[in-house]
A and B are shown apart, each in its own frame.
Chain A
Amino acid sequence: MLFKKNKQIEVQIDEFLDLVIKGGLIFKQAVRYYLQGRLEEFENHLKELNDTEEKGDDLRREIESKLYLRTLIPESRGDVLGLMESSDKVLNQTTENLLQFSVESPVIPEELHPVFLDLADYAVNASEGMVKAIRAYFRDLASVRDNVNQVLFYRKESNKSAEKFKRAVFRSELRLSHKIHLRYFAYHIELIAEEAEDVCDRLSIATIKRYI
């Protein structure tokens, strides 16, 4: 009975992390559709990402209440709940970014598309690395460090791409309001990687605590 309940939560945690991965992939594809001007497909992806985020929220709440009500993993419960909440923030940030594309319709000059796509890719890679690190935290503590290092790498790359994008924007002939608008988008995509890094910082401490 106890094993069955624990197995059920184990599956739910994996499902939640799958949703974070799925959210990143949808975001990446949706940005591509946006830049290609395929707005209908973009909107479909936005809707799908919204659904994914809602499912993620529900699942997270369910996991949290089960962990508390059944007093499971007493020593690590606080850390696990913190990790779930902060990785949910990454998913929320991803969704929020895509929604901003839909609402504000930023005009991104074509020559900046490759840098912008790089930025989106690195940010999503960072969130994927974060998910791998969290999975390792549950099963294989020794590989947490490797995955955390990957996240740090992608966060740095996303910073570099964001900087490159912003420099290019502010050296262009665009209107200042347009420049600031584009900077805002670069900054928010960069935030996905920053949030993923924060999760990994928390994860590193939680991992030390789990070593017996």
Chain B
Amino acid sequence: MIWFFLTSGLFLGFSLGANDAANVFGTAVGSRMVRFKVAAAIASLFVLLGAVMEGSGTTETLGRLGAVNAIAGSFTVALAAGLTVAWMNRARLLVSTTQAIVGAIIGWNLFTRSTTDIGVLSQIVATWFLSPLLAALLAILLYLLFKRILGKVRIHMLRLDAYTRTGLIIVGALGSYSLGANNIANVMGVFVPASPFKDLPLLGSANLHGTQQLFLLGALAIAAGIFTRSQRMMYAVGSEIFKLTPILALIVVLAQALVLFIFASSGIKNGLLAVGLPPIPLVPVSSSQAIVGAIFGIGIIKGMKGVNFKMLGRIASGWVMTPLFAALLSFIALFFVQNVFEQEVVHHAIVPSAAARPTAVAAPADTLSIPDTIQTITTIPQLEELQ
């Protein structure tokens, strides 16, 4: 049965590969600096490395991901998120996989009558606005910096081409590595307890653990998504919102990487606190939203000429529709899985109904001792790591 349940994780991985590879290599491929096949090969290799080498280290993530506490529930939530992303991609919209998962989880919360922490949810939703804005601002600043530097340093066009190409490949490879490391746990993590794989001895005393084999399988699904379905999305990111030159492509990818770093850096948070400024919440953000924000920032500084507002509007509407659609799909699918296929989608012993706990919503999140509330608080931000 586990093999059947695994398919939804693999499908989510496939959808994630098709959608998210465009964030790391879209501008490079769209600006024709890196060929699609090369980008797909590098992205797949580094997703695999990230997944196998660092994915298994995210045990904390896996533990917190357990809020969806029955494997049939996990299967359904992953399926709903995967279908949402695949459907949006079919409409050629770059969506946030994070939004899809958050929506699907909320669908699960609603279906199982579990509490959704509004504070955490609003923090996540705030980043959906903040990260594209910050990415746009950073892209503008980087643009001005690059313009100043390139005006002073006389580099031959061909050498600049080589530097830009190398920069795009390095940033793309690093992005792919973190994509694999951060997201594989969310794609395959729920299946770890039921993993059918045994440790596999490698050369010497090294072992490929069962979890790593599971993650390797998930990473292969992501790679399949990258190779077969991401090309259209890469061109959409790289050329359809605003036609990017190679240097602009590099600026956009750098701005995106900086946004992801800022939202994950405790150093910056502590620094802001030290000077009495409000800290940036340490919430992993959507790379899809960051990349679109950065491209829009470049469009602004270039005088809005050439910005494809139609495409931008479609993407923005996709961001609104994704969590709603995923939540609805998850809710409906859970209903069928529970009532038609008679699968347990929630362990009620762990997650009592909200009706039985009238004080749970009103009480401060950090003082609650009810397991599902704690799980909900911790689960949603972790799921945000999908991006």
Q: Decide if A74 touches B157 in the complex (CB within 8 Å).
A: no
Number of interface residues, chain A, beta carbon within 8 A? 22
Within 8 A of B (CB), among A93-131: none
Pick the residue among B31, B143, B146, B159 that contacts A3 (CB under 8 A): B159
Contacts of B146 in A (CB 8 A): 212
B347 within 8 A of A: no
Q: Decide if A71 touches B157 in the complex (CB within 8 Å).
A: no
At the interface with chain A, which of B244-252, B270-278, B370-378?
Answer: B244-252
B35 within 8 A of A: yes
A205 within 8 A of B: no
B339 within 8 A of A: no
Q: Decide if B246 touches A10 in the complex (CB within 8 Å).
A: no
Within 8 A of A (CB), among B126-163: 143, 146-147, 150-151, 154-159, 161-162
Q: Decide if B247 touches A7 in the complex (CB within 8 Å).
A: no
At the interface with chain B, which of A17-25, A40-48, A138-146, A181-189?
Answer: A138-146
CA distance A72 to B151 in the complex (A): 22
Closest approach, in angstroms, between the C-beta of B277 and any C-beta of chain A? 32
Contacts of B154 in A (CB 8 A): 139-140
Contacts of A6 in B (CB 8 A): 158-159, 161-162
B228 within 8 A of A: no
Q: Decide if A212 touches B158 in the complex (CB within 8 Å).
A: no
A69 within 8 A of B: no
B32 within 8 A of A: yes
Closest approach, in angstroms, between the C-beta of A159 and any C-beta of chain B? 32
CA distance A140 to B152 in the complex (A): 9
A76 within 8 A of B: yes
Q: Decide if A212 touches B143 in the complex (CB within 8 Å).
A: yes
Pick the residue among A2, A74, A137, A138 that contacts B166 (CB under 8 A): A2
A59 within 8 A of B: no
Closest approach, in angstroms, between the C-beta of B193 and any C-beta of chain A? 46
CA distance A179 to B146 in the complex (A): 58
- Assuming the contacts A2-B165, A142-B151, asked whether A75 and B158 have C-beta atoms less than 8 A apart, the reply is no
Q: Decide if A139 touches B156 in the complex (CB within 8 Å).
A: yes
Within 8 A of A (CB), among B149-200: 150-151, 154-159, 161-162, 165-166
A176 within 8 A of B: no
CA distance A73 to B143 in the complex (A): 19
Q: Decide if B31 touches A74 in the complex (CB within 8 Å).
A: yes
Q: Decide if B245 touches A10 in the complex (CB within 8 Å).
A: no
CA distance A137 to B158 in the complex (A): 11
Residue interface bits B192-223, CB-to-A below 8 A is 1, else 0: 00000000000000000000000000000000
Contacts of A72 in B (CB 8 A): 158, 161
A81 within 8 A of B: no
- Assuming the contacts A138-B156, A139-B157, A212-B248, asked whether A71 and B162 have C-beta atoms less than 8 A apart, the reply is no
A9 within 8 A of B: yes
Closest approach, in angstroms, between the C-beta of A136 and any C-beta of chain B? 9
B33 within 8 A of A: yes
Pick the residue among B31, B32, B150, B162 that contacts A212 (CB under 8 A): B150
Contacts of B245 in A (CB 8 A): 75, 212
CA distance A133 to B31 in the complex (A): 26
Closest 10 CB pairs of A and B: A74-B32, A6-B158, A6-B162, A10-B158, A139-B154, A140-B154, A138-B157, A212-B247, A73-B161, A3-B162
User: Residues of A at under 8 Å CB distance from B?
Assistant: 2-3, 6-7, 9-10, 13, 71-76, 80, 137-142, 210, 212
If A13-B158, A72-B161, A212-B150 are given as contacts, then 16 extra A-B residue pairs at C-beta distance below 8 Å, sorted by A number, are A7-B158, A7-B159, A71-B35, A73-B157, A73-B158, A74-B32, A75-B32, A75-B245, A137-B157, A138-B158, A139-B155, A139-B156, A139-B157, A210-B157, A212-B247, A212-B248
